[in-house]
Amino acid sequence: MAIEKQKPITQQDLDSKMYGLIGKLSEEGFACERYDRVTDFKKEIMLIPVSAKTGEGIAELLMYATGLSQRFLEMRLQIETEGPGRGSILEKKEDKGLGSTIDVILYNGTLRVNDTVAFSTTSGIGKAKIKALLKPKALQEMRESSSKFYSVESASAACGVKLSGSGLDDALPGSLVLSTEIPNYEQEITSELSDIFSTEKDGVVLKTDTMGSMEAMSRLLNAAGVAISKKSIGNVAKRDVLDAYAMKANDPHSAVVLAFNVGIDDEAKAESEATGITIISSNIIYKIIEDHKEWFEASKKADREAAEKALVLPGLIRVLPNSCFRISHPAVFGINVEKGRIRPSYLLMNKRGEIVGRIKEMQNNAVTLQEAKKGDAIAISMEDVTFGRQVREEEMLYTFMNDENERALRYKFDYLLDDESKDLLEQISTIKNASRPKSA
């Protein structure tokens, strides 16, 4: 092993990190050990160190995966070469001289020229009659050009094969491909579509390149508590962005498009800029999950800050004596903030619950303010107020808020209030309730 060639300090560092992981897995009820130290493969999980940069450990990983599969899954690895074919679509492409083709891993049964196969499409079940079966020549990758394939009349599991035939245009990569001779093949494909493309009323829009990646993305998003309202295969289109934009009305935190390993149409980009809908795109699944989490948190924070800014907070001011700078149009006078906070646009009411007017501007030494808090002595201006009538010296004025605002402060944004502000909120509520007309 390569580890034996490392310096002792490197081996110790690996053991330290390895056993830290083993300890955490043990807490979850899993017995683990480094692969070369496993004594019972039925009771212990192997941990095989690998390097994505150098490829170190990959050979060991494949060796043990193959060996354990042969030892413990022998019956499940058996295939049937007789009977109708069953496989999985790896890729759909246009091949010169062949038209639409699908690359298939045939893992059971046999397919023959002129057989009819069924597969999943975005609109349901598709069918195609096999015109040609092509197998790769020796040592050639089956995804290379058609010149490196040769025609066969039949292909049996397990092998890779290219299918040519009319009706393959809408075949979904990653989906099942079944001979129509298989009993209940339609039910099997419908079940696959139902499981993978199931959605909810509200949620993000998800686009992927294959059904396999769609299934993987769906599971990860579901585990993260993220609902999906629409799923489809292929590039992000304008319609996808519009669907995400429509989600803003029901759930603004779901108004986003997640795109795995697909392109983004120019019209979709333009619509994204016009509507402000974010498209999170990557060819790494976990990066999309992480980027979405960051976007979600930022979106919630922005909404919370906007809601906080829109709320009317409890405030109590005292009109200062000998501080009227203008009687009306607008009235300008000095005040002291006794408790809480005030902002421009706040309505003010007196101790009888009568609304006297709205704050237009606030200033301190000719500097315009957006907020004043307890202890601040400033000047405010109010339209539709005549000083000496609606407002008088030494009068105490309270911020006025509607019932919805009051409930929000009590139950959702109570963290904005200290104990004194909470007491002031109760005073404001009492004044409002006392001024309401009494029912007969």
> Quick one: which H or E segment has residue 300?
helix 285-310
Which pLDDT band holds residue 174 (cuts at 50, 70, 90)? confident
Tokens coding 48: 């095989």
- Residues 296-321 have pLDDT tens digits of 999 988 888 888 888 999 999 999 99
Q: Give domain status of residue 440, yes or no.
A: no
- Do 22 and 93 reside in the same domain of the chain? no
Helix (H, G, I), strand (E, B) or coil at 387: strand
Bridge partners (DSSP) of residue 232 are 207
Residue 162 CB-density burial (10 A; 0-12 exposed, 13-18 middle, 19+ buried): buried
Confidence of residue 53 (pLDDT cuts 50, 70, 90): confident
Instruction: Tell me, yes or no, whether 168 and 189 share the same domain.
Output: yes
pLDDT digits (tens, 9 = 90+) for 57-88: 888 888 888 778 777 776 666 667 788 998 88
For position 142, what pLDDT does the model report?
A: 41
Amino acid at 432: K
Q: Which pLDDT score is estimated for 166?
A: 87
Average pLDDT over residues 129-151: 70
What residues make up the domain containing 298? 197-307
pLDDT at 421: 94
How many distinct structural domains can be found in the chain? 4
DSSP β-bridge partners for residue 74: none
Each residue's pLDDT tens digit, 272-290: 999 999 999 999 999 999 9
**Does one domain contain both 118 and 224?**
no
pLDDT of residue 304: 86
> Residues 81, 157: contact at Cβ < 8 Å?
yes
Query: Looking at the predicted structure, is the pLDDT value of residue 46 above 70?
Result: yes
pLDDT attached to residue 58: 85
Closest to 204 measured CA to CA, from 187, 185, 222, 223: 222
Counting every residue written for the chain, the total comes to: 440
Mean pLDDT of the chain: 88
Is the whole-model pTM more than 0.75? no
Please answer whether residues 184 and 131 qualify as being in contact, where contact means their C-beta atoms are separated by less than 8 angstroms.
no
Same domain, 35 and 118: no
- Boundary-marking domain end, from 155, 177, 193: 193
Does residue 17 belong to any structural domain of this protein? yes
What are the C-alpha distances in Å from 238 to residues 195, 211, 245, 279?
A: 26, 21, 11, 11
Which tokens belong to 272? 């994204």
Residues 6+ apart with CB under 8 A from 380: 332, 333, 335, 342, 359, 360, 361, 362, 363
Helices (H), 73-210: 185-196
Residue 81 within any structural domain of the chain: no
Q: How many angstroms separate the CA atoms of 310 and 116, rounded?
A: 63
